[in-house]
Chain A
Amino acid sequence: MKYAEAGINLEIDLGTGNIERKATDEMLTESHLGGQGTAARILWDRVPPEVDAFSPDNLLIFSTGLLVGTPVIGANRTMVNTISPQTDRYSHSIFGGFFGPELKYAGYDKIILRGKAQSLIYLYINNDKVEIRDAAHLQGKGASETAEIIQAELKDTRIQVAAIGLAGENRVFMASIEHANSSASRGVGMIMGDKRLKAIAVRGTKDTYVAKPAELFQICNRMVQEIHDNPDAGDTMAHGEGDEFHVNNFAWGNARGRRKDFWSKEREEAWLSLENKLRVRWNGCYNCPKDCHQAINYPGRRPYFQKCYSKLTYAMAAMEDLEFDYDIIGLTQEYGLDAYSTPQVMAFAIELFEAGILTSQDLPDFPATGAARFFYLLEIIVRREGIGDALANGVYLAARQIGKGAEAFDHNTMKKFEQVPIKLSMINYPYFLMYATGEKMAINQIEGSFPQTPIADKAEREAYVKGWVAAPERFKKWLMEWEPRTHPTIEASVHICDWNETMHYVDDAIGTCAFLSSFRGQFGGRPPYHIHNLPELISLATGKPLDSDGLWKIAARNRNLIRAINIRRGLRRVDEAPPANQWKHRDPLAEKQLLDAYYEFKGWNDDGIPTAETLDRFDLSYVKDDFIGRGILEKEHMTHDKT
């Protein structure tokens, strides 16, 4: 019997219809934990760089985190990994809700999909019974509508469904995978559509086991109340906190300017009253007492779940107000679209129109207001109609397809992917490194443990550091020394970037929610989960000894392996450049020093490639051999001086 994990991966070839149950490899679980970690290993082994994202040989992997389905509070994440055609790199996405636990209870850690079905199908997993079913009747249906139809036809409302909408079916690059109150963004829905897989429906009623159940339950029994009471845990931004910060500090339109005059007391009151009117209820994910999501009932739309920052992304990109956002999400979530990247594509199209690069021939009867234009663009993008076909490939590729100077309006992508629209005045050292070197294409998947800004008041700083159990010792000194309007030192910045990303690599392997862990440490410094208490929880669940250093090493191994996947697909130092206007005041010398210091700290060479020694240190010799075989690394000296 295996602990924490179910011990079985489901291997499905959608081209041939072959379905196999494969036992997981215990050694891999020990070295990568699970979730994204083991998924990355499978992608490394089976999807070489010669395989194009659209090839049937590209894999789409749904992974439950190692702790999903155990009593660990908020361990409910499903990771989705594949190769993205937009970036030609590793693609990583996460969603919460109830899907991952249901899959674990059905007896599986992963669903590994290859091949393409001949027509639209959906997958039905009910414990040992796994069926590929016709989905012709679901074609064009909205994502939550699809879930509802499947639950009705299988006569079980406990079935958990992850589905794509029209955007995924039409291979729109911004397509998401939608499930209950969560969604997987960064383009994974497009690969699901490319494989002609409309939905995965799961029902599981099997037992899962942990190694030390009584001990683990005792801790979780205490933590459920602590997490509920912890004001720094959960998505406090969903509850209105941060609206003012976001509208004041994030860039509007096509990631252009800030609007310092937009927010007012009246605006705040109007927003609160609108939200209270539209909200059906706050609700949560599996086994978590935080109510981070709200069910919304907007007149004329299907009820939907509002997710995180999607509350503002469409409104700000369209230069509209909150009500417009609530209105358009009613459509975009049914179509299955990523609320981070899609609004940027639309705002980009509007700029091209205003600049005369797109004309009324491209956009016949294009309306005048931001709201009407967004609704118009939405329909042509999800259907890939006319110019919508280019726009559906995301800003970077669309700019190059459209040409005529459109490239100049692509100013907020990095590694070909749309970035969060935040343009600030002064370069920020740790943020420069996180943007430059992150493999996950989104800053919110990298930042999160060290505070974003220094604490001005000395006494407050001391109090913060005093109870800062989440932080490894070295960070306490760096925070104490950090004065307003100064940069942390280069050494501190390197470590801050390292700690921030490490915690995400931990969450992505074990399935704990970033709002209880990797993302939330930066605000208040009291995240429920951190590098010092997670090893015990993992160890009680798996029965294998683990300490903080050991967990850090596993996270670093996963980080290097994912780095290696991208290196093998061509990623080099030259790509690690945040958008030119990310900060108004840049510092090329400091940036070079930062990148040099970070690469050196990571054990990567000047081009950002993990060295042979580093790969050996993380037991990734097979990566080293592959790199040497491909000429990415030079062959090591075979003779050693034995004197």
Chain B
Amino acid sequence: MAQAKKIRKRITIHANKCIGCRACELACAAFHAKPRYSSINPARSRIQIIKDPLKDIYLPVYAGEYTATECTSRNKYILDGKEYSNCDFCRASCPSRDLFKEPDSGLALKCDMCEDTPPLKLPKCVEWCPKGALIYEEVEEQVQEQAPPLGAIEIGVESMIEKYGLQKVLETVAKLARP
């Protein structure tokens, strides 16, 4: 596929500057409430501070992709004498933990960089972090041109196939299509 230029949004996380106040969680949760700011609940935040203050662990982590299955491993990282699990760095909304899920429905959450119309100057978490632990940047990247995005029906059918298998879906469509 052809090469194209794309502006990529990025948050650089200076974990050593984090003081663990969780204002980012509050701001994120409120911004993403519907309507905007209508409720406050850090459990709904798409950024979570992984924290163990007396061990000096402060790790702001953003919600990434949903995954249906958990990892088989629980690897350890030792960084500057501090012990982390690979889950600490992981952005996935995953069955092994409550992180990055709507507390009521369990639906997966994902950081959207506070996309809004008109666009915000900064994602809310960055704006609420005057300590400079979260720094927003826009970087230009060479990317492969993407195939056009899937339509709503295609996404729906794809997930049906994932759940029931292609054969079953085909049979069902054939059955429904019969006059």
Contact = CB atoms under 8 A, between A and B. Distances in A.
A283 B19 contact: yes
Interface residues of B, number: 31
Interface of A: 69-71, 73, 98, 101, 105, 144, 157, 180-181, 204-210, 213-214, 216-217, 221, 224-225, 228-229, 280-289, 291, 295, 302-305
Nearest to B38: A213
Given A224-B128, A229-B130, A284-B21, A144 B40 contact: no
Interface stretch (B52-60, B136-144, B164-172): B52-60
Contacts of A286: 21-22
A80 to B, nearest CB: 22
19 contacts: A71-B26, A71-B30, A101-B42, A157-B52, A206-B41, A207-B39, A208-B41, A209-B38, A213-B30, A213-B37, A213-B39, A224-B130, A228-B131, A281-B19, A283-B58, A284-B19, A289-B19, A289-B21, A302-B54
Nearest to A227: B130
A228 B26 CA distance: 17
Contacts of B21: 283-289
A303 B54 contact: yes
B41 A295 contact: no
Contacts of A157: 51-52
Nearest to A280: B56
A105 B42 contact: yes
A224 B124 CA distance: 12
B36 interface: yes
B53 A180 contact: yes
Contacts of B103: 205-206
A144 B128 contact: no
A18 B54 CA distance: 35
Given A221-B127, A287-B22, A181 B53 contact: yes
A225 to B, nearest CB: 5
B113 interface: no
Nearest to B129: A289
Contacts, number: 98
Given A205-B41, A207-B41, A289-B131, A214 B36 contact: yes
A69 B21 CA distance: 13
B20 interface: yes
A217 B37 contact: yes
Interface string B143-158: 0000000000000000
Given A224-B23, A280-B56, 12 more contacts: A71-B27, A105-B41, A205-B41, A206-B103, A208-B39, A208-B40, A229-B130, A281-B58, A284-B19, A287-B22, A303-B54, A305-B53
Interface in B1-41: 19-23, 26-27, 30, 33, 36-41
B130 A284 contact: no
B43 interface: yes
Q: Most A CB atoms within 10 A — which of B30, B38, B127?
A: B30
Q: Most A CB atoms within 10 A — which of B33, B36, B43?
A: B43
Q: Most A CB atoms within 10 A — which of B23, B103, B129?
A: B23
B56 A281 contact: yes
Contacts of B36: 213-214
Top 6 A-B residue pairs of the complex, sorted by shortest distance between their CB atoms: A205-B43, A228-B130, A213-B37, A207-B39, A205-B103, A303-B54
Contacts of B38: 209, 213
A303 B56 CA distance: 10
A295 B127 CA distance: 26
Nearest to B128: A224
Contacts of A224: 23, 127-128, 130
Contacts of A207: 33, 39-41, 44
A282 B19 contact: yes
Contacts of A98: 22
Given A287-B26, A295-B53, A303-B55, A209 B39 contact: yes
A258 B58 CA distance: 41
Contacts of B20: 283-284
Contacts of A204: 43
A291 B19 contact: yes
A263 B163 CA distance: 73
A105 B45 CA distance: 13
Nearest to B103: A205
Contact of A289 (B23, B26, B42): B23
Contacts of B43: 105, 204-205
A228 B17 CA distance: 14
B4 to A, nearest CB: 35
Contacts of A216: 37
Contact of A71 (B40, B52, B130): B40
B22 to A, nearest CB: 6
Contact of A209 (B40, B44, B52): B40
Contacts of B51: 157
Contacts of A181: 53
Interface string B112-128: 00000000000000011
Interface string B42-73: 11100000011111101000000000000000
A225 B132 CA distance: 11
A304 B30 contact: no
A280 B56 CA distance: 7
A206 B29 CA distance: 11
B37 A295 contact: no
A213 B19 CA distance: 26
Nearest to B55: A303
Contacts of A282: 19
A213 B131 CA distance: 24
Nearest to A226: B130
Contacts of A284: 19-21
Q: Most A CB atoms within 10 A — which of B21, B26, B37, B42?
A: B21
Contact of A69 (B19, B37, B40, B53): B40
A546 B51 CA distance: 38
B65 to A, nearest CB: 22
Nearest to A216: B37
Nearest to A144: B54
A516 B129 CA distance: 18
Contacts of A180: 53
Contact of B54 (A208, A285, A295): A295
Nearest to B22: A286
Contact of A217 (B19, B30, B54, B131): B30
A485 to B, nearest CB: 41
A288 B37 CA distance: 19
Contacts of A213: 30, 36-40
B157 to A, nearest CB: 34
Contacts of A287: 21-23, 26
Q: Most A CB atoms within 10 A — which of B37, B54, B131?
A: B54
B56 A295 contact: yes
A181 B103 CA distance: 27
Nearest to B31: A217
A144 B56 CA distance: 15
A374 to B, nearest CB: 24
B56 to A, nearest CB: 5
A459 B40 CA distance: 46
B40 A221 contact: no
